[in-house]
Amino acid sequence: MLRQAVARSHRALRVAHPMLRLNSARAMSTKAAEMHFQQPLSHADVDADPKTHAMIEKHAKYTLTTYARPPVVFTHGKGTHVYDVGHREYLDFTAGIAVNALGHADPEVASTLYDQAKRVVHLSNLYYNEPAGELAERLIEATRASGDFEASKIFFSNSGTEANEGAFKFARKYGKMVAEQYGSTPEKKIGIVSFTNAFHGRSMGALSATPNPKYQKPFWPLIPGVVNNAPFNDVDAVDAYVTKDTCAVILEPIQGEGGINVSTEAFLKKLRQRCDEVGALLIFDEIQCGLGRTGKLWAHENYSSDCVPDMLTMAKPLANGFPIGAIMITDKVAEQIKVGEHGTTFGGNPLGCAVANNVFQRINTPEFLDNVLRTGEHFKAQLETLTSSPIVDHVRGQGLILGLRFTVDPAPLVALARERGLLIVTAANNSVRFVPPLNVSKAEVDQGVEILRSAIKAFEDRVLDVEA
């Protein structure tokens, strides 16, 4: 009873005083700390193989730091598991940040890489190659068959960021060509609109559409003409932000890094309508939420036929870890792009496209997508059982792109889970993001949720600071 009363008191304080959230997450009495560290940790950082720190120190001398990495060095994986230098096994619910759709060390992917590498790896886009043409046909025909998006052409890139950059270029060109029809001028119709909590990449153009100060501020000034703070899911605000001088609107149907925020039907319909009114192109960034992650081929297929884009960008899972991205466009966009106006050296290379052909054919089957949907529903139901904790707010998401929202910053939970053998990743707005391989089993989901439950209990002890 005392514990419940204290929990209610702490939760009320956090609601009334948001600034207390981070402080309460960091606060931990000596006794609570002793209780936590007495719990058996199967993958404790301090128990890492001695070679780990030596390898990290050696690599740090030569590599630029991009992420705050834990003191773990992974050597290989198999399916939904990865293994470190000391041969400790971890259940991976990050999948390389939604990339390894078929898991690690997939035999068919490995075989395809080997077979294609024996034939030809790279030719450049000076010439046609078989795998790229086959992949373009598969993507276009499958998209036409599965929904109402009238896909026409594909441009292959090397990453999601590059796909978004190319989409912005295409939109700028299109805007200049149609500007006068919509009461603008070629010089003015350059506006790009993105939304709060969006993430579209780290290069200068994509970064300009990613409204996170911690990513943007060190690199100001960014490219002109980008409005990146339009309120997500606010139907009434669309007209004010999308004007006759807008050439493109970009959004993720389900925001990933932003905290697993799902677009409403009304919002997507309004954006489609407004883009048609002012002659702007609607870009769906499905780099993280597309290619089967929701149980549909594309995330926007979960909505009505009034919610389709003019361009769709993809990348992450397309080749199960081999770098590749793509922009899928309609005829009205393709007609405006002339030879030589955009290009790439590595994009569409035979090796990446051969792997992507194998991966895409395996993802794009009714059986596979139905299994994603069923496993996702099971995963979501299991996560719901964790909301009884006073520090857990609610579950959100669809298919196998799910988020658990906390009432405090959950960053410490990542280490607590890892030291128990589970890999997870945070997202914005006090969220933990779950994007496991799309072929994760229900048994693995159950195992992961139980590890997560233990980690949340340890985290709860820290946050609530309850004496035994």
Give the β-pairing of 281-285 and 89-92: unpaired
Q: Where are the domains of the chain?
A: 2-104+367-464, 120-364
Say if CB 392 and CB 383 are below 8 A apart: no
DSSP-assigned letters across all residues of 230-291: EPTT-GGGHHHHS-TTEEEEEE-SEETTTTSEEPPHHHHHHHHHHHHHHT-EEEEE-TTT-T
Residues 256, 262, 267, 272, CA torsion sign = positive
Could you confirm whether domain 2-104+367-464 is CATH 3.90.1150.10? yes
Binned at pLDDT 50, 70 and 90, residue 65 comes out as confident
What integer best gives the mean pLDDT of the chain? 91
At 307 the pLDDT is 97
* pLDDT of residue 4 exceeding 60: no
324 CB-near residues (< 8 Å, 6+ apart): 156, 157, 158, 159, 315, 318, 347, 352, 353, 355, 356
* pLDDT tens sequence across 356-372: 999 999 999 999 999 99
- Give the separation between CA 99 and CA 321, rounded to whole angstroms: 6
Binned at pLDDT 50, 70 and 90, residue 31 comes out as very low
144 CB-near residues (< 8 Å, 6+ apart): 150, 151
Give the β-pairing of 74-78 and 81-84: antiparallel
Any idea which residue has 């599965």 for tokens?
146
pTM exceeding the 0.85 threshold for the entire prediction: yes
From residue 181, alpha-carbon distances to 169, 277, 280 in Å are: 20, 11, 11
At 47 the pLDDT is 85
Give kind and range of the element (H or E) at residue 114.
helix 107-119
Percent of the chain residues past pLDDT 70, beyond the cut: 91
At 462 the pLDDT is 86
* pLDDT tens sequence across 130-142: 999 999 999 999 9
Could you confirm whether domain 120-364 is CATH 2.40.50.140? no
* Nearest to 304, CA basis, from 267, 332, 277: 267
Say if CB 452 and CB 384 are below 8 A apart: no
At 40 the pLDDT is 64
Q: Which two tokens stand for residue 385?
A: 């059982």
* Nearest to 425, CA basis, from 199, 188, 171: 199
* pLDDT of residue 231 exceeding 50: yes
